[in-house]
Structure 1
Amino acid sequence: MAHVLGQQESTLVKAGAQRRGAINPLDPRMRIVMAVVFAVVTVAVSSLTALCAALAVSLSLLAASRLPWRKTLKRMAMMDGFILFMLVLLPFSMPGDPMFTLWGFPASWQGFWKAVEIALTANAVILSLMVLVGTMEPVTLGHALHRLRCPEKLVHLLMFTIRYIEVLREEYLRLRAAMKVRGFRPATNWHTYRSFGYLVGMMLVRAIERSERILDAMKCRGFSGRMPLLQDFALTRRDIVFAAGLGALCAGLIILDLA
C-alpha cells in the first residue's frame, strides 16, 4: 500500500511539474536579467518585421510557461485599453500622407504605422515581463533583486508594498463602507471633494500608525534593517541554455531590424 501511495504521489508531483511549464524552474535572477535584455532590444528595434518577430517570441515564452492563455490575454487586453486612446489619436496628430479624413481632420499613414509599432512593442514587452517576471512569488522576486545587487532599501520597499497593498485596500473599503452607512453619496460638489479629501487623509494617518506598529513588532523580533535571505540561487545548465537561446533571439531581432 505504501508503495502504491508513493507511486501516486510521484505521479502527481510530475504532473504538477509539467503544468508549471519550462519557465518556473529557471533561476529567478536569470529570468529578470533576460526579461530586461529582451525589453531593451524590443524597444530599440523599429521595423514592423522585427517587432512582429518579437511578439512571436513573447507568445512562444507564453506557450513554454503553460500559463492559461485566456486569462493572460485578458490581462493584456486590459493593458491595451490604456493605450488604445493614444493609438487612435496618433494618426490624426502625426503629419504625413493622408489616409482618410474624419470631420475635417486628416489621418496620416505615418501616424497609423507608428501606432502599430507602439502597439506591437508594448504587447511584446508586457507579455514577456508577465511570463518571465510576473509568475514569480513576490518574496522570490525580492530575493532575486537583492542577489542582483539592487539597492537594499528599494528591495525592502518593494516587498513591503506588495505585502501591505491589500491591507490598505481593505482599509479603504472599510472607510468607504462607513461613509455609505452615514448616507454619503458622491456627486460633483464641494462636499464630495472635501469628503474624499478626508478619506485620503484618514488613510494616510492610519497607514502611518500601522507602519509604526509594524516597525515596533519587527524590532521586537530582532529586525536590524536587513532581512536574512533563507533562499539561495544557483545557475544550472538549463539556465545557461535558456539565456543563450533568448540572447540569440535578441541578436536575431537586431539583425532583422538592420536588414
Structure 2
Amino acid sequence: MRRKILLILMLNILFFATLCSSTSAQSAMPIGTEIASANNERRPDPAYEFAKAIARKDLNLAQKYVEDFVQIPEIRESSGIHRCQLVSSPEEGVKIMVAHFKDEVLKGERLAFIWEITVKYDRITRIRVLFDGANPLVDEARLIREYQNRYRRDVLVPTEFPFKKVTQFNGYIEDDSSLVLVYRNDEMNGFFRVIASPITLELERYKGRDDVYCTLKDGTKALFRLKFELGYELRFQKNGMHYTLAIGNKKYLKVEFTPEVLIKTANSMI
C-alpha cells in the first residue's frame, strides 16, 4: 500500500516538475523582489512577502498579506521548506508559488506544494491549491526513528489503516517512554491512534468484563474492547512492547467500524 502511494506521489512530482521547468526563466522571480508603484516608489510585492513568510513557516506574518476571508492552506508535513519560487501567470494579478521540502531520506528536495495566488489592491484575495505533495507519514517515520534511537527498541507500525487516506499525522514521545502515533482522516471526522510502550503488565490484566480475545495472523493473542463509549480499541503484546490501537471518537465519527477493521490493521503491523 505504501509503495503504491509513493509511486503515485513520485509521478505527480515528475509531472509538476516538468510543468514548472517549461516556464521561461524570465517569468520566474526570486523571493523578495520588489515592484514599482505608479509614482516610482518601491514597495514590497505582497505575494513575495507572503511566500517568504511561508518559507519560514511564519503564519502570523503571512496572514498580514492575506484578506481576512482567505484561508491559508494547511501544510500537512513538518519538513522544512528548502526552496520556494514564484512564477508569473498569464492572468493579471496571479502568481504560481512552487515550494520544495528538504528531504532527509532522499538527501535532497522534493516538491511540497503548488499554490495559485491572486493579488488585488496589494492584498491576497485567493489561494488555490494546485498540488499538495505533503506526506504526513514522513513525520511518522521521523518520530519513530527518534524513538528507536533514544530507547533502542524496535516499534511495529501499521501499513494499512481503518480509512483510505491519512490526511494528518501528529505524535509524540511520553516521559514514561511511550510512543503515541495519531493518524487522522477528514472524511470520517475521526482519528486512529497507536500507543506503543514497554510491557509492564500481562495482557490478561487489562481484560474487562465485556472484552473478548481474538488471534492475529501469526498467533498473537489480542484483546478487543467490545463496549467502549469513546471508540473502538484493541490491545496486543509483541517483542516486549504493548500496543493499544484505537479509533475514535465514537460521538463524532461519520462511519461505524467492526472488530475486523482493527484486527486487519493490527495484522498489518506484525
Q: Whose helix fraction is larger, Structure 1's or Structure 2's?
A: 1
Q: State if a TM-score over 0.5 links the two structures.
A: no
Which protein is richer in strand relative to its size?
A: 2
TM range (shorter): under 0.3
TM-score by length of 2: 0.23
Q: Which has the larger radius of gyration?
A: 1
The structure with higher relative contact order (CA 8 Å, sep 6+) is 1
